[in-house]
Amino acid sequence: MVYETGNRTIDDAVERVLAGERLTRRDGLALVAQPVEQLAAAADAVRAEFGDGTVDACSIVNAKAGDCAEDCGFCAQSVHFDTGIDTYGFLDPEKILEAAKRAERDGAQRFGIVVAEKGVSKDHRPEEWAEVLRAIRLVRDETDVEVDASLGILTEEEATVLAEEGINHYNHNIETSPNFFPEIVDSHSFEDRVQTLEVAKEAGMDLCAGVILGMGESPTDRVDAAVALQDIGVSSLPVNILNPVAGTPLGERFDDGADITTEEIVSTIAVYRLLHPEARVRLTGGREVNLDADEQHLPFEAGADGMLTGDYLTTEGQSPADDIEVVERAGLELNTDANDFDPAAVKARHADAGTDESAAAGGDADAPDVETTGDAETAAGSATSNVSD
């Protein structure tokens, strides 16, 4: 394949990516400064070469909400901040299964069980650990979706058990660059997050780890985060955009919205595609509040090929039917490898029922009064979940 924009920096990078070369930090910094239209078109060409022309949809459930001891400045679920969310302990595994079945009906290929705490502990909370495993088994055995998890810091033993139970991807976002991380979190380090990812990978799970954009980081920080993820080795790279939550430090600082423009969002997605040509670059929390309805397709025309559909951890998402429309507007199709659903049926059902049956995350009408989120609220769930509030 030969692809040319006439922009030497971009064309050289694309040629090298297609030849199997890994781009460097220097490349990323040069690329992020290029015109967004040319950069997006080149990234889309790389996606087409390495991908399968589909967008992979995932969904999550907020399986344990609030009272997290960590102090992530974006997170509505931290005990350090007064955000007014409902809190509850680990959900009944049967309710988690109900959420997974709704997600399956709405076209999700994978379903993530997320908790808001530093880490689920096999040794210190054995009863909760047993419920986590029961929930995993129910979703694994009674649906066709891939089961993912975001359970915070793991020991080697815990990671081995989760892999044996069939967890496909383990999610633990790095949030931002190593340099900017201390500006966002004090209670644990960037290295702590990397260590958990390494433990999960060593146990045999694929990695889902990404970032939150618009927290005051620089374009250099965005590139540095992507380079760090290269070193870690991820197959799913969620890109959240800050949805500032009142009561959190970043909510107070950015009460008018995330510190990022539409052009910067699209440009960052494109650079991430070029730095991670074979990963699913997944647009997740905060996209509905930071991109207008007629802009949401743009990241999918700039290399993105994954999304989080349905509700988030503590905030609502848009209808899965609307998400399908976004994907189709970008000229792509929803992935049906794990869950062979009918997109037309999803759109018809939501047209008839509104969004009451929305896929997802804690949006169970019978669950404790859960305000679901995936990163719409702030872009990145808890210290453990990182799927955004």
Asked whether the beta carbons of 301 and 272 are under 8 A apart, the reply is no
Helix (H, G, I), strand (E, B) or coil at 243: coil
Distance CA 3, CA 49 (A): 11
Q: What does the block give as tokens for 380?
A: 């990145």
End-to-end CA distance of the chain: 40
**Cβ neighbours of 65 (radius 10 Å):** 32
Residue 100 · residue 338 · CB < 8 Å:
no
Per-residue model confidence (pLDDT) at position 130: 95
The pLDDT assigned to 317 comes to: 73
What number of residues does the chain have?
389
In whole angstroms, give the CA distance from residue 326 to residue 321: 9
DSSP one-letter string for 2-24 = ----S-HHHHHHHHHHHTTPPP-
- Residue 148 token pair: 């993912």
| Total-model pTM | 0.89
Looking at residue 195, its pLDDT comes to 94
Tens digit of pLDDT at every position of the chain (389 positions): 567 788 999 999 999 999 999 999 999 999 999 999 999 999 999 999 999 999 999 999 999 887 777 778 788 777 778 777 788 889 999 999 999 999 999 999 999 999 987 778 787 889 999 999 999 999 999 999 999 999 999 999 999 999 999 999 999 999 999 999 999 988 889 999 999 999 999 999 999 999 999 999 999 999 999 999 999 999 999 999 999 888 888 888 888 888 999 999 999 999 999 999 999 999 999 999 899 999 999 999 999 999 999 877 766 778 899 999 999 999 999 999 999 988 888 888 888 775 454 434 343 333 333 333 333 233 333 333 344 45
| 356 CB burial (10 A radius; 0-12, 13-18, 19+) | exposed
Cα–Cα distance for residue pair 377/70, rounded to 1 Å? 17
Amino acid at 133: L
**CA distances for 65 relative to 79, 80, 93, 147, 244, angstroms:** 11, 14, 15, 19, 18
Strand partners, 298: none
State residue 83's pLDDT score: 75
Question: 3-state class of 333 per DSSP?
Answer: strand
How far is Cα 80 from Cα 43, in angstroms, rounded to an integer?
40
Residue 2, pLDDT score: 60
Helix (H, G, I), strand (E, B) or coil at 350: helix
Q: Which domains does the chain have, with CATH numbers?
A: 8-353 (3.20.20.70)
